[in-house]
């Protein structure tokens, strides 16, 4: 499997590989810029993250941190970007996302080269022009930045294994700390990398490298200790999203992450993964190849990352999303590259073929997928603001859509969510939990709707309405959690609250509500709205 090609042919092939990587890197840069111009406004998670980062004081930021999904690194970076005056508009904020995306492209190259000393053909083929990596890595969330530090940590650990001195230990520790301070799941993946390093060091009794790698991991883990109290306290409201560990859901989301925009691409990922296992196990068994240590390090890291990342998902028990898999995909692609970089050398340019197949062939399809906006709130809400009068009422559903509503709505009409909340800087699951326990959460909104219709004004129902249906009968008041059918899961309560308000509006409006559709463009978070006006004669009043 490692038969060498003639020297002249090898030099020519290596030159072609460098050229191929450069071509793909340029294509990827173009896609990142293309995404910059098509992503549009900030969707709710990005709005919440930016609101958190720009809290009045660092103390307030720290107190609200448990309401978000990340440690301090990304909020601090956003705060610094704002302090520099670059956060005054959505496009200026998107420029930060572009810089992170380009940094990730560089980290793929650098992290791979630090291990293989060859161009990162396989890693770039799998990651460079992936619309999943570009779209979510460039968003104003921590996933792209977390991947940057994760890959730099991987390269630094391998460098430390080659020469376990204090300078390389310091560099490894810095990258490891930055990695876990960006994404909590990176702590699990850091442990996977340490396992890969120990698989190389322990059989050789290289105790110095073993201890230095372990020390870097322990120091990085220790920096997460200040978060523990907040993590424990936050379990009260994160339980509202707790859907349990569902393996089929994980595989479905992973498949989507790999198959956007081309459905055949997961098969290529699988083929590369299986091939890497075969080559890596062969190196593990023989341990006499000049590059066996590299392959053992990468294979062990690959296996351990799969196990530990699954453990992380099981522990959090949160609904899995496509962007959760970015760190795992980035680490897995570089590990596969490290295993296969010199495999089948006699087969010529198979890696160049993979690069063309995965990175260049679907280029136009990737560009088309990146035309999809993340939200249309910045387009729809100014239209509502221009038409809604001061006496109208806007009801935002679901409640967390109020985060981006507050950013993009600047009109005269008063607005509320179901239930009414006191803070929309970010998604306040803690406040929703209180409303679930108190009961009758929709009652104040129903009273506002009844008053507005009775006065002859309009009620606007705005939000992610395609997730809900107006019921023919008003739902009964839900029991307090956890005695409801889904325990603490708040989506059940969302449905009931929406059903109570929507049924009342349908019953009390004159005629059918007008359905106002958004502009014809593909949107990830699609804001729609209905308008209810007037009041039926003899319509029942809200008690």
Asked which of 344, 373, 402 is the last residue of a domain, the reply is 373
Do 125 and 238 share a structural domain? yes
In a domain, 416, yes or no: yes
Higher per-residue confidence, 255 vs 516: 255
CA–CA dist 477, 500 (Å, integer): 9
Confidence (pTM): 0.93
Q: Give me the half-sphere count of Cα atoms (radius 13 Å) on the Cβ side of residue 63.
A: 6
For position 366, what pLDDT does the model report? 96
- Cross-strand bridge partners of residue 415: 394
Cβ-contact 213, 160 below 8 angstroms: yes
Copy the structure tokens of residue 326: 């970015």
Rounded to whole angstroms, the Cα distance separating 442 from 343 reads 63
Residue at which a domain ends, from 327, 352, 373: 373
Task: Mark whether 318 and 208 lie in a shared domain.
Answer: yes
| Structural domains in the chain (count) | 2
Query: Are residues 143 and 211 both part of a single domain?
Result: yes
Q: Are strands 523-525 and 414-417 parallel, antiparallel or unpaired?
A: unpaired
Per the domain annotation, does 541 fall within a domain? no
Region 475-499 average pLDDT: 88
How far is it, in rounded angstroms, from Cα 480 to Cα 432?
Answer: 12
Q: Buried b / exposed e across 500-509, counting CB within 10 Å, b at 16+? A: bbbbbbbebb
Residues 162 and 296 in one domain: yes
Same domain, residue pair 214 and 111: yes
A 10 A CB-CB count for 65 gives: 18
Same domain for 327 and 432, yes or no, is no
Query: Over the stretch 460-473, which tens digit does the pLDDT of each residue have?
Result: 999 998 887 888 88
Q: What digits encode the pLDDT tens for the residues 40-88? A: 999 999 999 999 999 999 999 999 999 999 999 999 999 999 999 999 9
Closest CA to 82 of 93, 73, 71: 93
312 in the same domain as 177? yes
- Domain for residue 201, yes or no? yes
For 91-98, what is the mean pLDDT?
A: 97
The pLDDT tens digits of the residues spanning 206-240 come to 999 999 999 999 999 999 999 999 999 888 888 88
**What pLDDT score does 4 carry?**
45
469 and 329 part of one domain: no
Closest CA to 153 of 188, 190, 120: 190
Residue 538 lies in a domain: no
Range of the domain at 490: 376-533
Residues 135-147 have a mean pLDDT of 97
Does pLDDT of 513 surpass 70? no
Please report the pLDDT score of residue 345 as a whole number: 72
The average pLDDT across 340-360 equals: 88
Give the pLDDT score at 9.
61
- 246/199: higher pLDDT: 199
Q: Taken in order 29, 101, 214, 305, is the CA torsion positive or negative?
A: negative
- Determine contact, residues 32/101, Cβ cutoff 8 Å: yes
- End position of a domain, from candidates 355, 373, 391: 373
For the chain, the first-to-last Cα distance in angstroms comes to: 78
Q: How confident is the model at residue 1 (pLDDT cuts 50, 70, 90)?
A: very low
Mean pLDDT on 91-103 = 97
75 located within any domain: yes
pLDDT tens for each residue of 426-437:
999 999 999 999
Whether residue 333 is found in the same domain as residue 416: no
Higher pLDDT, 30 or 478: 30
Question: In which band, very low, low, confident or very high, does the pLDDT at 540 lie, cut at 50, 70 and 90?
Answer: low
Query: What pLDDT score does 543 carry?
Result: 47
Quick one: 519 and 481 in the same domain? Answer: yes
Beta strands 514-516 and 528-533, pairing class: antiparallel
Q: Return mean pLDDT, the chain.
A: 91
pLDDT at 246 exceeding the cut of 90: no
DSSP string, 513-532: PEEEPPPSS-EEE--EEEEE
Q: What percent of the chain has pLDDT over 70?
A: 94
Question: DSSP character for 467?
Answer: G
Three-class SS state of 287: coil
Task: Identify whether 218 is part of a domain.
Answer: yes
Does some domain include residue 1?
no
Task: Tell me: pLDDT of 169 over 50.
Answer: yes
Looking at residues 387-395, what average pLDDT do you find? Answer: 95
Quick one: 81 and 190 in the same domain? yes
Residue 361's pLDDT band, with cuts at 50, 70 and 90, is very high
Q: Flag whether pLDDT at 394 surpasses 70.
A: yes
Would 460 be classed as within a structural domain? yes
Non-local CB neighbours of 341 within 8 Å, separated by 6+ positions: 112, 116, 118, 121, 122, 351
For residue 496, pLDDT beyond 60: yes
Is residue 165 domain-shared with residue 245, that is, in the same domain? yes
Q: Quick check: 123 and 147 in contact, CB under 8 A?
A: no
């Amino acid at each position: 499997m490692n038969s060498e090609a003639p020297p002249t042919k090898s030099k020519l092939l290596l030159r072609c590989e460098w050229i191929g990587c450069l071509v793909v890197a340029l294509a990827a840069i173009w896609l990142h810029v293309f995404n910059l111009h098509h992503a549009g406004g900030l969707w709710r998670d990005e709005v919440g993250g930016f609101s958190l980062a720009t809290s009045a004081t660092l103390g307030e930021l720290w107190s609200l941190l448990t309401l978000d999904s990340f440690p301090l690194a990304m909020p601090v970076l956003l705060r610094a970007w704002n302090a520099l005056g670059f956060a005054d508009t959505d496009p200026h904020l998107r420029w930060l996302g572009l810089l992170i995306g380009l940094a990730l492209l560089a980290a793929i190259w650098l992290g791979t080269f630090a291990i293989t000393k060859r161009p990162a053909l396989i890693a770039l083929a799998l990651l460079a022009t992936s619309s999943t990596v570009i779209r979510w890595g460039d968003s104003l969330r921590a996933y792209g930045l977390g991947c940057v530090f994760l890959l730099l940590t991987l390269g630094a650990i391998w460098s430390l294994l080659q020469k376990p001195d204090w300078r390389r230990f310091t560099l490894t520790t810095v990258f490891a700390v930055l990695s876990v301070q960006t994404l909590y799941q990176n702590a699990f993946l850091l442990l996977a990398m340490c396992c890969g390093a120990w698989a190389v060091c322990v059989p050789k009794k290289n105790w110095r490298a073993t201890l230095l790698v372990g020390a870097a991991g322990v120091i990085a883990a220790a920096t997460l200790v200040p978060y523990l109290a907040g993590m424990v306290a936050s379990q009260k409201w994160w339980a509202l999203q707790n859907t349990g560990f569902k393996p089929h859901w994980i595989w479905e989301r992973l498949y989507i992450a790999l198959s956007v925009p081309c459905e055949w691409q997961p098969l290529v990922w699988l083929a590369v993964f299986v091939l890497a296992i075969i080559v890596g196990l062969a190196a593990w068994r023989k341990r006499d190849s000049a590059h066996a240590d590299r392959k053992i390090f990468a294979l062990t890291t690959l296996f351990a990352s799969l196990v530990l990342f699954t453990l992380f998902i099981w522990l959090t028990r949160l609904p899995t999303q496509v962007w959760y898999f970015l760190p795992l995909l980035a680490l897995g692609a570089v590990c596969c590259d490290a295993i296969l970089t010199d495999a089948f050398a006699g087969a010529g340019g198979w890696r160049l073929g993979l690069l063309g197949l995965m990175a260049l062939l679907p280029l136009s399809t990737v560009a088309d997928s990146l035309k999809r906006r993340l939200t249309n709130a910045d387009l729809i809400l100014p239209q509502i603001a221009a038409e809604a009068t001061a006496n109208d009422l806007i009801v935002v559903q679901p409640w967390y859509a109020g985060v981006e509503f507050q950013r993009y709505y600047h009109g005269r009409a008063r607005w509320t969510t179901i239930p009414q909340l006191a803070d929309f800087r970010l998604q306040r699951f803690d406040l929703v939990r209180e409303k679930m326990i108190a009961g009758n959460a929709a009652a104040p909104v129903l009273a506002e709707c009844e008053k507005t219709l009775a006065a002859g004004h309009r009620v606007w129902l705005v939000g992610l309405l395609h997730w809900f249906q107006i019921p023919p009968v008003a739902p009964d008041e839900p029991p307090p959690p956890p005695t409801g059918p889904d325990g603490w899961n708040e989506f059940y309560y969302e449905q009931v609250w929406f059903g109570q308000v929507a049924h009342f509006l349908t019953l009390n409006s004159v005629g059918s509500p007008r359905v106002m559709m958004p502009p014809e463009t593909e949107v990830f978070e699609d804001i729609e709205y209905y308008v209810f006006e007037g009041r039926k004669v003899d319509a029942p009043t809200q008690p």
